[in-house]
Amino acid sequence: MTRSIRIEVRYLPHGEGLPLPAYQTEYAAGLDLVAAVPADGPMVIAPGAYALVPTGLTMALPAGFEAQVRPRSGLAAKHGVTVLNSPGTVDADYRGEIGVLLINHGHNSFTIRRGERIAQMVVAPVVQAGFEAVVELAQTARGSGGFGSTGR
């Protein structure tokens, strides 16, 4: 079952004329985000370097939702370019520009042009947890085994 919500989006001056985030297929989970760099000034990310790429968009997520900024698999597979802080989290009370922190793990410089799809954004419901300090935790069969302990 697909659930739909309304999200208000505002273009910043340098984002005017670019497409709104959009799903590329009927069952896609992520909306594509595009670069709002100047048409006459593409951004170049050298191998091993990272850059904050503007999208030219601000938005008002409804309370109880977040947006996760994730890599595009094609950029990672073809160029070694990915989202550095993946997934980046956009909270419902954030009203600043959506930026995408890209890193180039590839061997060649990567050029980002205006309107190029640079990341995907997944909108998801949020559950806030309340924490309570206790003296002991309930026991489980796994216990404290971690870092590969279940793959014996």
Q: Which long-range contacts (CB under 8 A, 24 or more apart) does 10-15 make?
A: 10/57, 10/58, 10/59, 11/56, 11/57, 12/36, 12/54, 12/56, 12/57, 12/58, 12/97, 13/56, 14/38, 14/54, 14/56, 15/54, 15/55, 15/56, 15/57
Tell me, yes or no, whether 131 lies in a domain. Answer: no
**What is the pTM for the complete model shown?**
0.88
Tell me, yes or no, whether 139 lies in a domain. Answer: no
- Nearest CA among 27, 25, 22 for reference residue 1: 27
- Nearest CA among 5, 109, 7, 94 for reference residue 49: 109
Q: 121: domain range? A: 8-125
Tell me, yes or no, whether 119 lies in a domain. Answer: yes
- pLDDT values of the chain reduced to their tens digit, one per residue, 152 residues: 567 899 999 999 999 999 999 999 999 999 999 999 999 999 999 999 999 999 999 999 999 999 999 999 999 999 999 999 999 999 999 999 999 999 999 999 999 999 999 999 999 999 999 999 999 999 998 888 777 777 66
* Residue 75, φ and ψ in degrees, nearest 5: -65, -40
Tell me, yes or no, whether 55 lies in a domain. Answer: yes
Structural domains in the chain (count) = 1
Tell me, yes or no, whether 47 lies in a domain. Answer: yes
pLDDT number for residue 152: 61
| Contact by Cβ (8 Å): 33, 120 | yes
What amino acid is encoded at 109 in this protein? Answer: S
Tell me, yes or no, whether 136 lies in a domain. Answer: no
Spatial neighbors of 76 by CB under 8 A, at least 6 apart, are 82
CA distance 117 to 137: 46
pLDDT number for residue 85: 95
Tell me, yes or no, whether 142 lies in a domain. Answer: no
pLDDT number for residue 2: 63
**Other CB atoms within 10 A of residue 31 CB:** 17
Tell me, yes or no, whether 14 lies in a domain. Answer: yes
> What CATH number did the domain enclosing 23 receive?
2.70.40.10
